Structure formats: C-alpha cells, structure tokens
Amino acid sequence: MNMETKKMNKKTDKYKERLQRHHDELRWLYMELYGNDSMFAELCDNMHRFYQERKDTLKSLDMQREAHPDWYKQNDMMGMMFYIDNFAGNMKGVEKKLDYIQECNVNYIHLMPFLDTVPERSDGGYAVADFRKVQEKLGTMEDLEDLTDACHKKNINVCMDFVMNHTSEDHEWAKRARQGDGEYMSRYFFFRDYSIPSMYEKTVPQVFPTTAPGNFTWLEDAGHFVMTTFYPYQWDLNYKNPRVFNEMMYNFLFLANKGIDIIRIDAVPYIWKELHTQCRNLKQVHTIVRMMRIISEIVCPGILLLGEVVMEPEKVAPYFGTVEKPECHMLYNVTTMATTWHTVATRDVRLLKKQLDIVNGLPKDYVFLNYLRCHDDIGWGLDYPTLLSEGIGERSHKEYLNNYFQGYAGASNSRGELYNADPVTGDARFCGTTASMCGIEKACFEQDEQAMQKAIQLDVMLHAYMFMQSGIPVLYGGDEIGQVNDYSYKEDPNKAADSRYLHRGAMNWTLAENITDQTTVEGQMFTRLSELEQIRKQERVFVSNADTWTIETWDSSVLCIGRYFEGEKILGLFNFSEYDKTAWINETDGEYVDLISGRKMQASGVDIPAYGFYYLKKING
Ligand code: GLC
C-alpha cells in the first residue's frame, strides 16, 4: 500500500469511527422527531457524500482539531465581524485586507450574510434566496473558497451565518409554494384564512412590532397567509417536514465544505413552532441543534456551532446542551452586553456585577462570545426584578436608557437612534456604534478636545473590560478606529426604515490610514486597543476556561474582575464613572504589576482615574 492510499484509508476509517460513535443517538433523535426511516437513510447517504466531497486540507484540519478539542478556547482567539461590502467591497477585497485583520490581532472573522438575496427585501442579507450562491456584487462560491483558504494559511478562522429559520420569499421553494405547489407549501406555514394565525397571534410575541408587525403575511396572489416571524418577505420554514430538515442540513454541509470554521445559527430559538406556545425555545429546537452538532461531528468536526440566542441567561445556557450531549460550542453573552450599556448610563456596576456572577457561575467549558456592539440593535433585556427591588421600573428605565443614549439626559455624550419603538408597550431598542455611544461623535462635531479624550478613554475602558470577561471577545468592525454612526442610510429607500443601518456604515479607509498617528482618534483608539490585545495574547490567564470571578470594590462605579489560570492571577479594575475613584479591594497576597503601565503596585485601596482601568498581574515568587 502506498502512502497516499494509507492516508485515504485512515480518513475513511475516521468517518466510520465517528458515524459509529454517533449513529444510534442521531437515529433516535431523528425518529423521535420524524419517524421516517427512508428520510433518515437519505440523510446518512448525503452525510457520507459531503464527507467524500470535503477537501483533504479541511479533513486534516478536522483531525487536528479533534485531537485538540480546546483549540478555540485559547487566549489568542479574537473575533471581528463586518459586512463584506462595507469592509472591502467584495470577497477578493477582504482577501487583500487580511494583513490589516492580523494587525488588529484578530484571528476569526465573521463575514456578515453574503448569500444571494434581493436588495429591496434583504434584511441585511438575513433573507436568503439561494443558500448555494454568493451575492453577485460580493463574488462567487470560488471566491469564498479562495478566501477561506487564504485565511487558513494565516490561521484566521471564518464564520458565516446560517439563516435556517426562514428563507426569502425569492427562494425557489417559496416561489413554488406561492404558485400553489403543495409539496413546497408544506415547507412553510400556509393558512387559507386567519383562524389559525389568529390563534398563534395570541401567544407569539412580535420581533419587529413597528417595522413588521404581526407574525403572518397575507399573500394576495396565493390566496393564503404565510407565517413570517421577521419581515413579511422572510417566510418561516416548517421543520416538522423532514424534507426541510434534510435539505437545510445539506445546505449547511455544503457551506461547511467551503472552508467555513464557525457556523452562526441565526435566530435559532425560533425554528420550531407549536400552536398555543410562544414559538421560542421549544424542546424540539434542542433536538434539532443536537442533531446538527452530531452531523457536524461526523462529517466536519473541525467546525464550531455558534448559536444566536438573544434571550435572558436562563434561556441561553441550555443551548450549550450537556457535557455528554453538547449542542452549540459558543453563544453570545447578550445580557452582559446590554447590562454593560446600562452601567455606562447609570455609572452603577452593581447589576453588571450580579450578571457577571451568573455567567461566571456557569461551567467553565461554556464559551461565551463577548461584545460591545454588533450589527443589531441593543434590546434592553436586563434583570428587571433586581432593578425593581431598588424601585426602578422596567418601562421608565428603558425610557431613561433610550433618552440617555440619544443624548437627551444631562450627563450623556452619546448619539444614536431608537429602533422599533412600540407605541403600545412603550418599548424601544437602540442603535449606534460604540464610539458614538461613548461620545466620540459629539466631541468631534463640537471640536471639544477635552470631551474627546474622555470619550476615547471610556471607549478603551469598555474594550479593556470586555477583554477581561470569560470567553472570546469579538470586535465590531470599525470600532478599532472609533468609527461613528453613519446617517446616510436615510437616503437609501431599501434601508431608510431600519435604523440598524445607522451602525452598519462602510469602513472609512481614509481614517484607517491614521492608525499610527497618535494625534488622531483612530491612532489613539487603534494603538490602545492593540496594546490590550497584545497583553491578552501573551497572558495565558486569558484562556476562555480560566477561573473568572468578581470582587467587591465598595465603590458602586468600580468593577473588579479576577482571573486565575495555572498559578497566574490577574485583576481587572474598571471605573465606569467620569470621576476619580478608589477601589477598596484588599488582595494582600503579594505584589502586583499593572500590565499596561508596567508600574508595580499593591492590590489594595487602588486609586483609579475617571473611566480608568488597570490590568494588575500578581508577581509570582
Ligand atoms: C438575527 C439577525 C438579525 C435578523 C434576524 C432575522 O436576529 O441578527 O439581523 O434581522 O436574525 O433573520
């Protein structure tokens, strides 16, 4: 047997071994949901086909990662998310910017939705018309493969969205369903009249109460209602139909085979619907995610599943599954993100401390993605029972936060806009970039140098705190240079009604040329973030499964986070107020050094300037 054949056999055995390990559970789950032997057999055949089609380089990467299952929990993991057109025009453009990405210390990029969509009905690309075609303006599937190859050569991981809850109404299936083809109608939720939809509406909340009210859309030409949880042109898929599940799994494997490392399962809590329920987080959703995890562990174990669960912590954590039956590898730390902005507005870290304690109390193997801003709005999903115990009501507090971040409250320097303000519930979410919310936009407009320094300081402090959290930090592209809100979306009729485009502006490469010029905002932001990122890469204590906890500082504006890993300890101190403070901590176990200034100091009674922070590392020995 020559070397090549030996290698081939090893890889075939690998597949068999993985299949054997997982087959019974997969079959069990599939039968529980669908009770359909022939569809299961078809699924297995196709899994094998996708495995055979998988490139050798990807199969080798799979094996490497299987041998080191903690590969993504290391302290060098740092993400950045961006829209391809905004960032670099198209896929080829992104390939040319990989050096810049590395300069940002980023080794994982989330390419925002790039699959085929109709511009007038795209929801930022989350309405997919063809899962196997790249939007023409961005490139081709070959360009995607070239890009993932180029990324892998530089050890950069690539993440993409898998929008599995719905298709665009321009998808082939939807077009056929619209023409009355029963086979395709059964892939969605079609109703002849409003009687059943009206029953759903009694229990199902609304995602876009202002921009897309209701959960159903009347199709005049088809003479039917169709379920549309999001926009009217995003038709919910019916996962009770095994054909939908199988086909979507083939799409998933097809994309995985293009060299994708991280699959972000969009809007995952919504994928199973039952009458008389909220149609969120139903137990069948977990069966489906578990099946996806098993399928990927058999065909492409090098990939990670990232669940998008924008819900309160008790609903998020179950998407990790259990140790024996894991579901997602990673989830967003969404409540912590929202609570962070609450803290910025109130200068009171107590709720944030409590929230971090909840996250820190979860098993260390759970990996959260930490972020300050993303492409979506900020929903004020805070711990209201706790706030109420202090006399702070939900409705009035949301109003306060929205006013604050629009810049209406006295001590606010923020700029931004409301999103989906609901006149009935009084609820509204918020849009804006980190820099604008920290005051950089206002200070720039007013040419107020002192205010600018304060704004930059707050922005950098927030990043320093975000890097200290347990998990993997993800930058929102443009934040590294302090990019502000972009109001030009108002002139584009396809975007004007959706204020999320406020923080989806194009990367300003002219400003990015300033990253080494310390007299500019870009230069200061980039250099200071870079310094923190370097520290994070060098210090093992930033691995995602380090012990992480909070420490009481006896000042309600100062947060202290401790991290410990294999004998190394670090304390992060963060002042969320514009006044100088003292952190009344008392860690008397030795001397510390501030990793940023290099200054040796004691970790007790630490004076900390306005919006200041320290990374105090314990000096061993
Ligand atoms: C996710 C996306 C959001 C999109 C929605 C519908 O929540 O992050 O941008 O509107 O899914 O696909």
Which atom of ligand 1 approaches the CA of 163 most closely?
12
Residues belonging to the active site:
266, 308
Ligand 1 centre to CA of 500 (Å) is 11
Rounded to the nearest angstrom, the distance between the alpha carbon of 511 and the centre of ligand 1 is 29
Best probe residue, ligand 1, of 230, 280, 502 (max atoms within 8 Å of C-beta): 230
**Dihedral sign of CA atoms 133, 78, 470, 65 in order:** positive
Ligand 1 pocket, Cβ-based, cut-off 6 angstroms: 123-124, 126, 163, 230, 266-267, 308, 375-376
Q: What number does the ligand 1 atom closest to the CA of 127 have?
A: 12
Atom of ligand 1 nearest to the CA of 123: 10
- Ligand 1: nearest atom to the Cα of 230: 6
Closest atom of ligand 1 relative to the 375 alpha carbon: 9
| Shortest-distance Cα residue to atom 12 of ligand 1 | 126
DSSP helix/strand/coil, 129 = coil
Our mutation pick for probing the ligand 1 site, out of 111, 126, 271, counting the most ligand atoms within 8 A of Cβ, is 126
What pLDDT, on a 0 to 100 scale, did the predictor assign at position 46? 98
> What is the 3-class SS of 150-212, one letter each residue?
HHHHCCCEEEEEECCCEEECCCHHHHHHHCCCHHHHCCCCEECCCHHHHHHHHHCCCCECCCE
Report the separation in Å between the CA atom of 603 and the middle of ligand 1, taken as the mean of its atom positions: 43
Of the residues 376, 378, 499, which should be mutated to test ligand 1's pocket, given the most ligand atoms within 8 Å of the CB?
376
Nearest CA to ligand 1 atom 9: 376
164 CA from centroid of ligand 1 (Å): 11
CB atoms within 10 A of CB 235: 30
Block residue for tokens 């009347």: 218
What's the 137 CA to ligand 1 centre distance in angstroms?
21
Q: Are 15 and 298 in contact (CB under 8 A)?
A: yes
3-state helix, strand, coil in the chain (%, to 5): 45, 20, 35
Residue 556 main-chain phi, psi, to 5 deg: -70, -5
Query: Distance, CA 432 to ligand 1 centroid (Å)?
Result: 17
Nearest protein CA to atom 7 of ligand 1, as residue: 267
> Ligand 1 centre from 490 Cα, in Å?
20
pLDDT of residue 621: 58
Residue with CA nearest ligand 1 atom 8: 376
Q: In what order do the strands lie in the sheet with 224-227?
A: 190-191, 224-227, 216-219
Task: Provide the pLDDT for residue 569.
Answer: 97
Mean pLDDT of residues grouped by 10 in the chain (621 residues)?
68 90 98 98 98 97 97 97 98 98 98 97 97 98 98 98 98 98 98 97 92 94 97 98 98 98 98 97 98 98 97 92 96 98 98 97 94 97 97 96 94 96 88 98 97 98 97 98 98 95 97 97 98 97 96 98 97 98 95 97 96 96 58
Ligand 1, residues 117, 123, 160: which to mutate, most atoms within 8 A of Cβ? 123
